[in-house]
Structure 1
Amino acid sequence: MLRGRDTECDVLLELIRAARSGQSAVLAVQGEAGIGKTALLDYLVDAATGCRVLRAAGVESEMELAFAGLHQLCNPLLDGLDGLPAPQAEALGTAFGMRAGKPPDRFVIGLGVLTLLSEHAGDQPLICVIDDAQWLDQASAQILTFVARRLAAESVVMVFAARAREDEQAWAGLPRLMVHGLKQADAVAVLESVVTTPLDVRVRDRILAETRGNPLALLELPRWLSSAELTFGPDQTAAGTVAGRLEERFRRRLEPLPAETRRLLLIAAAEPLGDVGLLWRAAERLGLGEDAATPAEAADLIDVWDTVRFRHPLVRSAVYRSAALRDRQAAHRALAEATDPDRDPDRRAWHRAHAASGPDEAVAAELERSADRALAHGGLAAGAAFLARAARLTPDGVSRVERELKAAQTMLHAGAFDDALQLLGLLDHRSLTELQRARAEVLRAQIAFASNRGDEALPLLLAAARRLEPLDLELALDTYVTALEATLFAARRIGEAGAVEVAHAALSAPVPLRPRRSDQLLQCMAVLQVDGYAASTRLMRDVTEAYLEEHLPLEEGLRFLVLAGSMACDRWDLPGWTAIAERHLEYTREAGALNALQFALNSVVYPRLFRGDLATAGALLDEANALAEVAGTTLHPYGAIGLAAYRGDTGAEELITAAKTDATARGEGLVVVLTSWANAVIRNGNGDYPAALAHCREFLFPPGNDDGRPVFLPVGSQPGGWTLAELVEAATRCGEHSTAAAAAGLLAEIAAASGTDWALGIAARSAAQLHDAGPADDLFREAIDRLGQAGVGVEQARTRLLYGEWLRRAGRRSDARTQLRDAHDALTAMGVDAFAERARRELAATGETVRRRRADTRKELTAQELHIARLAADGRTNPEIGAELYLSRHTVEWHLRKVFAKLDVTSRRQLRSALERPVA
């Protein structure tokens, strides 16, 4: 056991015990430099007898090389790459530069790593140890933490050791072990174990206070202090952090070494792979022999054997940072010359860049080629880093600006907004063409919109589009589209200042000789703002048809499908909306565009919800959660808000309130509108009509409007139209008939302009609720028929519920039972629980005996288990299920064993019957 680390060692031993019992275990060990994280990892490895160990370490100088850390960990297993499913093998081979191919989907890379680890853990537990994880490249950190969160029934232990930082998000949600300084007694024992002379108590206490129990500092201190200092105390108190002081002390230990040894150490510090052959090839180019390593090994600074390993990462950083610039350049130059240009062209280019003493077009061009390779492997962060350094080394001013703009664009796609803005700031001091300046403005506006989907980006986008008109008309028109997209996310109301200004500017722009689909989309969005809803519905239909054409380039689909889907949604065209949303999801999966994929998943959720397929909607949100893990981002709340609404989940108030508060602060009005609608649906489902009415008023009644009539709608009719429908239901139950009539009137206008069965069905239902007799019967029946034809299953079932309630109040109990029974069965099957319970209560009020349902064993299944069970019942194999849900086949098998036990079945055929049987 390590001194003073009994608790930490017990935690690590428990991980090994879990792996030996067939379960996975994950841990993030965090603490300051020198606190003992690496010693704990070594203890774990020593204790893992009978297990296979994989080790990797992040290196600060490799942070820009995509998948470098992941490759280091997986390299011993890559002989089995061809044993993986073909898409996973292709993705890993492409990511590691072993094969040529299109940019791999990060999910497939993650699944490939998961499968690789899982399959190799079949014979013996697998222990994966990642040291200095704070220095992993971004792509590796994302994939490894994604895999860690998806481990379940594999005999795999994954332990990360990283310095604790306040801004660290990569390890969020992983089990953590915080390592602190040793307690007083243990710290004294460690210090005295390396001090060979008597130590004055006062000096000892001062040393203990300064080191704060840091084991490395305690062990190294006797090497730094003279006998006099150990007797009478150090001459002065060292300033700065413990890590900084340790690095400085290591730097001082370098000074007595021979110059040849320091040069060899510098080569090793600049070469992160620990490749002994590469070290000696580079050393030979600087005239250094193997004997140059002897003094460093004797000083316990480095070990050169089958691999090159520094005593501590702080030794590496001390060596590199203390060297003169010309010496660092010489080391990198030697490494570049010693690196095989065919096997490792990117690392060679990186060394050449660090060796350059000034602008060098040849090196810049090589870096740009490396950037293209990184982007082809899905390494956006690496591609941006290569491009930024290429720009710095570019001698020609025009070419330099072009590379800086390309780098900033790549940083935008990678989500590195601050880095992109910093790079764009450099352009303010350069001589730019008008087109380059306009492109820079567009990038700034796009960054503002991507980082904060509120009002901030709108004026920036408008100004950039106007500047671009005489320079690049197509880019100008696309920028107008983005500006109108900003009005959509801000939920600007039709006719509102700002939105109308953008629309007028777009309509006044020159018409291109060959109009594109995106120009058609722009006209539709602009007409909607300037001329209103009725004038734009024909254009909405044309846009929907245009974006469902067979030949749609991938880049165009990624950029514009989400807006085309919005137009189909605004027209209440469920089939068109569904088809476009599904196509957008397909395109984002193909491109591996993680940020766009989150929006695509949330977009697909809503058509599923309205169709009544809440189970699939929930599965899509599970995937979105997994995506947020691999991308290291916060999950967008859109889909979760809608699912909570239809489930009638009053416990979702915290989720909805948090989403609303955050969106209000950012000016993202679309989320605010969704929260008003969702709260109204939840309250109507639970029969709390006054609360539902209050939530509708919150959005539909602007300040100063006291006449009880909703007068404004946001861009288009959705989700404002959905909220109008909730308002009619809540207002009629609260006796506010004039308010209900005004909302129903607006819905009738929308339906007349739209002409779709969905819109006409909702309008008919809303009108029916205004009548006590006469037309109500026909209107309810019309609504049921139209909503059924439109495929809006939830709204059709809700209409049956409303019709049944109306029939009961009219004294037609037999007819009411028919409608209420159909509503209850449909809503229950769909999982629309609050409205189903409302239907049950109404059935009981008609005098029908509603038998108490026995406990449904399906309710005992978790959401993930239910999803896996349905896929298995549909005939999917375990690997196919794993590929869809980003799980290993072993984890799928583990879940299915639990499902079979809970449902008391023994085969997949019985599983289908168990899931389909009605609940008595």
Structure 2
Amino acid sequence: MPNNTRGFELRGRQRERDTIDRLLRDVHDGRSHVLVLRGEPGAGKTALLDYLIERSPAGRVTRTAGVEPESEIAYAALQQLCAPLLGRLERLPEPQRAALATAFGLTPGDPPEGLLVGLAVLGLFAEAAAEQPLVCVVDDVQWVDRMSEVILTFVARRLDAESVALVFASRSPGDEQVLSGLPELRVEGLPDAEARALLDSVLTGPVDARVRDRIVAETRGNPLALLELPQGLTPAELAFGFGPQSATPLVSRVEEGFQRRIAALPADTRRLLVTAAVEPVGDVTLLWRALERLGVSPDAVAPAEAAGLVEFGTRVRFRHPLVRSAAWRSADAAELREVHRALAEVTDPGQDPDRRAWHRAHAAVGPDEEVASELERSADRALARGGRAAAASFLERATELTADPGRRATLALAAAHAHFAAGAPAQVPGLLAAAELGPLDPLQRAGVERLRAQVAFVLNPGRTAGPPLLAAARRLEALDLAAARETYLSALGAAVYAGRLGGGDLRRAAEAARAVPAGEDPAGLLLAGLAAWSLDGYAPAAPLLRRALDALTADEDLGLLWLAGPVAHEVWQDEIWHRLTEQAVGFARATGALSLLPTALVFRAGALLFEGRFADASDLLDEVGALGRATGLAVHPSASLALAAHRGRELPALELIEATVKDADARDEGRLLGLAGYAKAALFNGLGRYPAALEAARQAVEHEDLAVFNWTLGELIEAAVRSGEPAVASQARERLAGRTAAAETDWARGVQAVADALAGPPEQAEEHYREAVERLSATRIRLPLARARLLYGEWLRRDNRRGDARGQLRAAHDAFTAMGAEGFAERAGRELAATGETVRQRTLGAREELTSQEAQIARLAVSGRTNPEIGAVLFLSPRTVEWHLRKVFIKLGIGSRRELAAALRGR
């Protein structure tokens, strides 16, 4: 099937054409549309993209394609796709404009984070589509550079109402993980009749019917194979069927056919095709200058075009990517080096230094210190643009070209760090092994050990990660005390997360950390506090942990949030918890800190959950999920577990709990088991199934997991009292008291007052319930407050004080209903009904129903944020925000932002 749709009809592709036509209609009507075409090489994906482009109005299309030699250059495909749109760059907000300009190398600046670049590309597409619908086409996604793939995936998940079509083509099988989760259209082989018709169109002589059947069967209707395989058969094979059947995969056979056709061309034409295959962007001017150095004349083009292998226009375009790869593989190593050398010589070192360095690197026969230095400079430029993966590739190749053992080891270590920062930890061990072959100084050797341990922690944060981190910290202790403290903290944190599955790792890490001279920086203070918590117990550690939290004020310390968040819970500091999580999310959004944002969002969702803001927490967790799918980053389940448990929907909550238990066992991460037990206890307490809650809580409190133990003690006391186990409740109350007394906060005292009311002297119960309500009312923690009111109301009803009970139960029921805590709301409703009050079920008319995203946009609008500001928070384009707000106005029956606050309160 030819690549160009002009002048011919796509055979057997009515379903695909209908899909594309609907896509274009949606975009014309103001909606965005994303589509991934998946199929094996030669299935016709590029032809369908050509059909899409032909059907799109002129001037509204931008196109790029992944090229295998270009796959290591950061933002290569993205820059080509965005190049026609850069005239609108000035319309973007300054942080986005600066991030994109830096990423594309247009201006110098600090390395941009991926999220800011993604938001800038989203805004750029939206600005272009504001004038007329925009169609963006990306072919051969499997060869797109990593940063372009991440950004385009991010953008694809955020498009909504911008009048943008973003259409990809990717190979299958083998590349299903690329752009996973986006709408797909599988491009299969042609139907039998259409396949036979296409085959007949290229057969020029008599063909045995069985041979025709065999070709159609072997190609499975693949259009390119139908056109190409007959050209590899002799007239005798076509007419009589002589010749063996091939066991070679179809794609390889098609490529071999192209290789045979290339081999039959004149030598200069073959060299032309090899050079065009190596030159990644199809720059005709650059290609001719390189060919001139190779002694190839323009006449060499004609045989290649006559053979239907390549087209020369404003750009060079191969008929199919398999032609490019066949041309590339047809050259031996010496010829490829010669071609790379010619391309390096004609590439402007001022305009395109990185491609020139890359060509020079591939032209080198052996070690070349000059080229290695040039690659180092390219790595620095890649890092300045945020291209960590590209920097890693440059440094890795520089390592190969360096003869000096010491410099080679240094480069290998730098490449390993770059791969780790790029989110490719699996690439690190081999480079560390190479670095260890060279003469490393003691600090470098300690750095190797530390990085190896960090990789182990990222790949498996369970118990296996702690000991290597501890060993690295010990090695660093005499070399770099600050780095040693940070590594000890990582080792101690790994042991905390390993929990009950960590053996004696926690004590060993704490003892080693305590021997290090104390530091007054946040990491040093947190290390001292956690060491005391591990070795001395809760009461001596609490003041140290509070001091560490107080020191966490600077944005640069927010990388410690993975430990600081649980610590804030451990010492019952709701204000610090609120401040830290809000600050972390704000910092991560403002800077696009992709490494911090998922963790910040998870902990912020947990804070909002305990504040009773379930909808806001759910919005953030939805965002975390989208980030995880777009970037592949792992998401910690703590907030999702707590939210599912308190929502009270039994089946989905139990499914998530069981999945977490399996994950914890697989990763040896014992703290996850504690979280799962706590979630199950909270779920069953909400549903009024107290024996099941008691069993779950009993198992969970066998180990004092950081923060989780505090939460679970409260669940255990409530479940034990309701299950008729006063001795269990009393013991848990005493254990809790030792912690809440040391914490000295209203949150801690309020939780203890609930425990005292439930499990303390009966004659003091009401006094304690009143204290609990008063204490918790002074905090941000609205979920525990509602639960305290529920328990107080239940106690009052059992004391036959129905009037007093109604006030507490009604407040609890209203709070739970507003939060979305369905299990606890039903429990409060049953108690209210038992007092004789009719419980009105809250119903919402269709006009009032808002989606989660609409509700979040409405709340942000009420807070005074503009559409661009809301878009920056939610990673949406301003046009999409405006579109959602119009839907909100219609659903709420209002006409402007001024009416939003009242309408939302009325709900």
User: If the TM-score is normalised by the length of the shorter chain, which range does it land in?
Assistant: over 0.9
2:620 corresponding residue in structure 1: 620
Shift of 1:57: 0.5
Deviations, residues 300-321 of structure 1 (Å, cap 9, x unaligned): 2111111111111111111112
1:76 partnered with 2:84: yes
Shift of 1:859: 6.1
Shift of 1:478: 2.1
Distance between the aligned counterparts of 1:499 and 1:208, measured in 2? 65
Shift of 1:724: 0.8
Shift of 1:429: 4.5
1:55 corresponding residue in structure 2: 63
Distance between the aligned counterparts of 2:38 and 2:738, measured in 1? 61
> Which stretch of the first structure deviates more once superposed, 222-231 or 210-219?
222-231
The equivalences for 1:638-657 within 5 A come to 638-650=638-650, 651-657=652-658
The one-letter code matched in structure 2 to 1:626 is A
1:11 corresponding residue in structure 2: 19
> Which stretch of the first structure deviates more once superposed, 41-50 or 849-858?
849-858
1:505 partnered with 2:496: no
716, 725, 729: which is aligned to 1:727? Answer: 716
2:899 corresponding residue in structure 1: 910
Contact 2:848 2:891 in 1 (8 A): no
2:818 corresponding residue in structure 1: 829
Contact 1:239 1:245 in 2 (8 A): no
Contact 1:453 1:668 in 2 (8 A): yes
Distance between the aligned counterparts of 1:894 and 1:315, measured in 2? 45
After superposition, the CA RMSD in angstroms is 2.2
Contact 1:51 1:125 in 2 (8 A): no
Distance between the aligned counterparts of 2:284 and 2:769, measured in 1? 80
Deviations, residues 384-408 of structure 1 (Å, cap 9, x unaligned): 1111111111222111111111211
The one-letter code matched in structure 2 to 1:628 is G
1:283 corresponding residue in structure 2: 291
Contact 1:493 1:713 in 2 (8 A): no
Distance between the aligned counterparts of 1:39 and 1:849, measured in 2? 66
Shift of 1:447: 0.9
2:834 corresponding residue in structure 1: 845
Q: 1:811 aligns to what SS in structure 2?
A: coil
> Which stretch of the first structure deviates more once superposed, 369-378 or 236-245?
236-245
Shift of 1:862: 0.8
- Matched positions, count: 898
2:863 corresponding residue in structure 1: 874
Distance between the aligned counterparts of 1:51 and 1:741, measured in 2? 76
1:209 partnered with 2:222: no
Deviations, residues 777-832 of structure 1 (Å, cap 9, x unaligned): 11112222222223222111211111111111112222222222222333333333
Q: 1:152 to 1:515 in 2, by over 3 A?
A: closer
Shift of 1:431: 4.8
The equivalences for 1:415-454 within 5 A come to 415-427=423-435, 429-454=437-462
The equivalences for 1:629-640 within 5 A come to 629-640=629-640
Contact 2:850 2:888 in 1 (8 A): yes
The equivalences for 1:644-793 within 5 A come to 644-650=644-650, 651-701=652-702, 712-714=703-705, 716=706, 718-771=707-760, 773-793=762-782
> Which stretch of the first structure deviates more once superposed, 452-461 or 118-127?
118-127
The equivalences for 1:71-470 within 5 A come to 71-166=79-174, 168-233=176-241, 235-427=243-435, 429-470=437-478
Q: 2:61 aligns to what SS in structure 1?
A: strand
> Which stretch of the first structure deviates more once superposed, 514-523 or 813-822?
514-523
Contact 1:547 1:561 in 2 (8 A): no
1:603 corresponding residue in structure 2: 603
Shift of 1:732: 0.5
Q: 1:700 to 1:867 in 2, by over 3 A?
A: same
Contact 1:764 1:783 in 2 (8 A): yes
Q: 1:320 to 1:234 in 2, by over 3 A?
A: farther
The one-letter code matched in structure 1 to 2:208 is D
Contact 2:283 2:316 in 1 (8 A): yes
Q: 2:198 aligns to what SS in structure 1?
A: helix
The one-letter code matched in structure 2 to 1:663 is A
Q: 1:26 to 1:749 in 2, by over 3 A?
A: same
Shift of 1:587: 4.1
Distance between the aligned counterparts of 2:558 and 2:243, measured in 1? 64
Contact 1:142 1:629 in 2 (8 A): no
Shift of 1:75: 0.9
Q: 1:540 to 1:431 in 2, by over 3 A?
A: same
Deviations, residues 743-789 of structure 1 (Å, cap 9, x unaligned): 11111011122222212211111111024732111111222222222
Distance between the aligned counterparts of 2:206 and 2:234, measured in 1? 13
883, 892, 897: which is aligned to 2:886? Answer: 897
Distance between the aligned counterparts of 1:559 and 1:880, measured in 2? 25
Deviations, residues 434-481 of structure 1 (Å, cap 9, x unaligned): 443332222121111112111111122222223333344433332211
Distance between the aligned counterparts of 2:485 and 2:847, measured in 1? 52
Contact 1:266 1:323 in 2 (8 A): yes
The one-letter code matched in structure 1 to 2:434 is L
The one-letter code matched in structure 2 to 1:3 is R
Distance between the aligned counterparts of 1:123 and 1:468, measured in 2? 58
Distance between the aligned counterparts of 2:902 and 2:363, measured in 1? 68
Deviations, residues 247-282 of structure 1 (Å, cap 9, x unaligned): 122111111222222222222111111111111122
Contact 1:363 1:390 in 2 (8 A): yes
Shift of 1:858: 7.8
Q: 2:136 aligns to what SS in structure 1?
A: strand
Q: 1:734 to 1:166 in 2, by over 3 A?
A: farther
Task: Provide structure 1 residue ranges, at least 5 long, that are not aligned to the other structure.
Answer: 702-711
> Which stretch of the first structure deviates more once superposed, 841-850 or 305-314?
841-850
Q: 1:850 to 1:220 in 2, by over 3 A?
A: closer
Shift of 1:59: 0.7
Contact 1:544 1:565 in 2 (8 A): no
Deviations, residues 277-298 of structure 1 (Å, cap 9, x unaligned): 1111222222333222222122
The one-letter code matched in structure 1 to 2:685 is N
Contact 1:107 1:630 in 2 (8 A): no
Distance between the aligned counterparts of 1:843 and 1:517, measured in 2? 49
1:534 corresponding residue in structure 2: 539
The one-letter code matched in structure 1 to 2:566 is S
The one-letter code matched in structure 2 to 1:673 is G
Q: 1:809 to 1:530 in 2, by over 3 A?
A: same
Deviations, residues 402-442 of structure 1 (Å, cap 9, x unaligned): 11112112212222122112322334544544443332222
1:816 partnered with 2:805: yes
The equivalences for 1:509-528 within 5 A come to 509=516, 511=517, 516-528=521-533
Distance between the aligned counterparts of 1:368 and 1:547, measured in 2? 36
Contact 1:106 1:630 in 2 (8 A): no
Distance between the aligned counterparts of 2:458 and 2:625, measured in 1? 19
Shift of 1:737: 0.8
Distance between the aligned counterparts of 1:576 and 1:742, measured in 2? 30
Deviations, residues 713-750 of structure 1 (Å, cap 9, x unaligned): 12x4x111101101111110110111111111111011
Contact 2:612 2:783 in 1 (8 A): yes
Q: 1:229 to 1:849 in 2, by over 3 A?
A: closer
Distance between the aligned counterparts of 2:25 and 2:591, measured in 1? 41
Q: 1:769 aligns to what SS in structure 2?
A: helix
2:577 corresponding residue in structure 1: 577
> Which stretch of the first structure deviates more once superposed, 768-777 or 247-256?
768-777
Contact 2:141 2:169 in 1 (8 A): yes
